[in-house]
Structure 1
Amino acid sequence: MKKISILGCGWLGLPLAKKLIEKGNSVNGSTTSESKLSILKDAGINPFLVALESESVSETINDFLAESEILIIDIPPKLRGNNADTSDSRRKVFVEKVQTLIPFIEISTIKKVLFVSSTSVYGDQNDLITEETNPNPETESGKQLLLAEAILQENQNFETTILRFGGLIGEDRHPVKFLAGKENLENPDAPVNLIHQNDCINIIEEIILQSKWNEVFNAVAPFHPSREKYYTQKAKEYNLVSPKFSTEKSNIKKVISSEKIENILKYQFKLNEY
């Protein structure tokens, strides 16, 4: 049995915690919502109210990390909307949060960190993307994720594995619901780079089980139909109005490779879920 702390028990962190507990692990889970503490507790998670800010962190942080060997960081940059402001005061908010967290990890029992990142760190490169590809983020969230990755990787007090997920989908989450009925969408021939929630959870579980630390993994299903073909089919399955794409707008042919995960972890994606 391992004791694991999950910073961010949201869409991915909560079911991940449940799966790890099912396998006999003890899990500390954090939330920023007091009303969610009971949900975590009912799931068998040791619940903690943890708010991570640019210059401070909740007093509960030490208890949240106490006696755990592994820390999973699964908190989004949240830079959309008003937070997308690129002024100096907003530009490195997420990075500063990670920097604020570091000293508490250093004095804790944590020896391994798994940081949930995104393939957005690569930007819209028109190529086959592997872990050897130089990141070139174009979005503010991608830039901050890349900086946060480096801060964690450079710290010698613990080992860090970076897990870069593609577009997240699940039973209750699918981009076609936002694209349905829209017109003049760009990149009809661009390949999709998606990963299902269940594959996300299983891959994290395998990294812990096989002790694959100080690694960088891309995690995208080896399933890359065109955006037009895939979302048209999914719209039919969900009984939604099919989106319409413009052939006049640019096509990015970026394909994210997950061969490293398949080869090192011997992991097989559950393609029937896509």
Structure 2
Amino acid sequence: MKQISILGCGWLGFPLAKRLILNGNSVKGSTTSEDKLSILEDAGINPFLVTLERESISENIDTFLAESEILIIDIPPKLRGNQDFSTSLEMTFVKKIQNLIPFIEKSSVSKVLFVSSTSVYGDDNEWITEETIANPDTESGRQLLLTEEILQKNQNFETTILRFGGLIGEDRHPVKFLTGKENLENPDAPVNLIHQNDCISIIEEIIKQSKWNEVFNATAPFHPTREEYYTQKAKERNLVLPKFNSEKSNMKKVISSKKIETILNYKFDLEEY
């Protein structure tokens, strides 16, 4: 049994915590909502109200980290996608993690798993592996990359970076936002998606196999074009079909998950897609 702290029990962190507990681990989970504390507790999670700010952090952070060997950081940057990086001086998300690091250093945590995103890669590459130089073109991607680097350079704990593609699940699918829309760009661009169940299983395998000081891309090896995929998904859900503009097509980015498939011997459940 491992003692694990999950910073951010949201869409992914909450079911992840339940799965880890089901497999015999003890889990502390954080939320920023008092109303959710009882929900976490009812699921067998030791609940904590934790808020990270640019200049401060919740007083109970020490207790949240105490006795845990592993910390999973799963909090989104929540930044505007196209904000101009040159004029963004606050670096809000980066500073929040920087405030957290001294508390990790003095805690029992020796392993950190940071949930990042494939948005750290630019759109000018056609085939992307972990060896591809990250070149984010959004503010969110830039701050995620800086946070990755800060965590990786710290010698007080081992860090594995997990870069997820577009997140989907039973209650979450991009087609809901595309239905009925017209003049959509990049009809020929490959999709780079990962299902919530695969996200959870991959994190489980990283912990089980003790794969630390690694960087993993995580998208399903399933890359139909945007037009093919979202048209089919709209039909399956009886939604108004999205309409794409073939004249606005310039993105060919494919995120490879070969490293996960090889090193973790992981098989994606393609039926989920």
Aligned length: 272
- Alignment pair present for 1:37 and 2:37: yes
1:45-99 alpha-carbon deviations (Å, 9 max, x no partner): 0000000011110001000000000000000000138x95754454x10000010
Structure 2 residue identity aligned to 1:35: D
Regions of 4+ moved over 2 Å = 83-90
Aligned to 1:55: 55
Residues 48 and 64, structure 1, Cα contact 8 Å, conserved in 2: yes
Q: CA deviation at 1:125?
A: 2.3
Aligned-partner Cα distance in 1 for 2:123–2:89: 26
Aligned-partner Cα distance in 1 for 2:168–2:129: 21
Aligned to 2:172: 173
Residues 80 and 139, structure 2, Cα contact 8 Å, conserved in 1: no
Aligned-partner Cα distance in 2 for 1:203–1:243: 32
Q: Give runs of aligned pairs for residues 2-13 of structure 1, distance below 5 A.
A: 2-13=2-13
Structure 1 residue identity aligned to 2:104: I
Report the 3-state secondary structure (helix = DSSP H, G, I; strand = E; otherwise coil) of the residue aligned with 2:238: coil
- Alignment pair present for 1:28 and 2:36: no
- Alignment pair present for 1:94 and 2:93: yes
Q: Please report the TM-score for the alignment, with normalisation by the length of structure 2.
A: 0.98
Segments of structure 1 that go 5 or more residues without pairing to the other structure are: none
Aligned-partner Cα distance in 1 for 2:124–2:207: 31
Aligned to 2:224: 225
Aligned to 2:145: 146
Segments of structure 2 that go 5 or more residues without pairing to the other structure are: none
Q: Please report the TM-score for the alignment, with normalisation by the length of structure 1.
A: 0.97
Residues 61 and 104, structure 1, Cα contact 8 Å, conserved in 2: yes
Aligned to 1:78: 78
Q: CA deviation at 1:238?
A: 1.1
Residues 220 and 270, structure 2, Cα contact 8 Å, conserved in 1: yes
Structure 1 residue identity aligned to 2:130: E
- Alignment pair present for 1:134 and 2:137: no
Aligned to 1:17: 17
Q: CA deviation at 1:266?
A: 0.2
Q: What is the identity percentage for the equivalent residue pairs of Structure 1 and Structure 2? A: 79
Residues 188 and 251, structure 1, Cα contact 8 Å, conserved in 2: no
Report the 3-state secondary structure (helix = DSSP H, G, I; strand = E; otherwise coil) of the residue aligned with 2:54: coil
1:131-185 alpha-carbon deviations (Å, 9 max, x no partner): 0000000000000000000000000000000000000000000000000000000
Aligned-partner Cα distance in 2 for 1:39–1:80: 30
Q: Give runs of aligned pairs for residues 59-70 of structure 1, distance below 5 A.
A: 59-70=59-70
Residues 70 and 112, structure 2, Cα contact 8 Å, conserved in 1: yes
Report the 3-state secondary structure (helix = DSSP H, G, I; strand = E; otherwise coil) of the residue aligned with 1:214: coil
Structure 1 residue identity aligned to 2:168: I
Aligned-partner Cα distance in 2 for 1:66–1:105: 9
